[in-house]
């Protein structure tokens, strides 16, 4: 499902116009992005939690040459599904 299909589905289920639904979805993604950028987590009870995790620096290998390389530490966004979402997918 892409963004426009998601907007169509939410619009149909909520009764909002597609334009209002698009603005709401954009607002949601902006709010989640801002919270994660500040280091906060975002929890939607029953749905899941978005959280920023730190990955430590590590040693890897260049697949072409076999040489060892250092992979820099990085932050990544993780999502942990909530119980209701997990039960729905089963």
In the block, which residue shows the tokens 């899941």?
48
Euclidean distance between CA atoms 3 and 49, whole angstroms:
20
List, for residues 11-57, the tens digit of each pLDDT value.
999 999 999 999 999 999 999 999 999 999 999 999 999 999 999 99
Reported confidence tier of residue 62, pLDDT bands at 50, 70, 90: very high
Instruction: Give 38's contacts (C-beta < 8 A, 6+ positions apart).
Output: none
Reported confidence tier of residue 90, pLDDT bands at 50, 70, 90: confident
Burial of 49 (0-12, 13-18, 19+ CB in 10 A): middle
Task: Identify the H or E element spanning 55.
Answer: strand 48-55
List, for residues 68-86, the tens digit of each pLDDT value.
999 999 999 999 999 999 9
């Amino acid at each position: 499902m892409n963004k426009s299909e998601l907007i169509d589905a939410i619009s149909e289920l909520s009764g909002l116009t597609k334009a209002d639904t698009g603005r709401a979805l954009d607002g949601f993604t902006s709010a989640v992005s801002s919270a994660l950028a500040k280091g906060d987590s975002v929890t939607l009870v029953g749905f899941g939690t978005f959280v920023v995790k730190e990955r430590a620096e590590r040693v890897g290998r260049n697949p072409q040459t076999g040489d060892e390389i250092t992979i820099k530490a990085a932050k990544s966004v993780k999502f942990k599904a909530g119980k209701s979402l997990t039960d729905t997918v089963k």
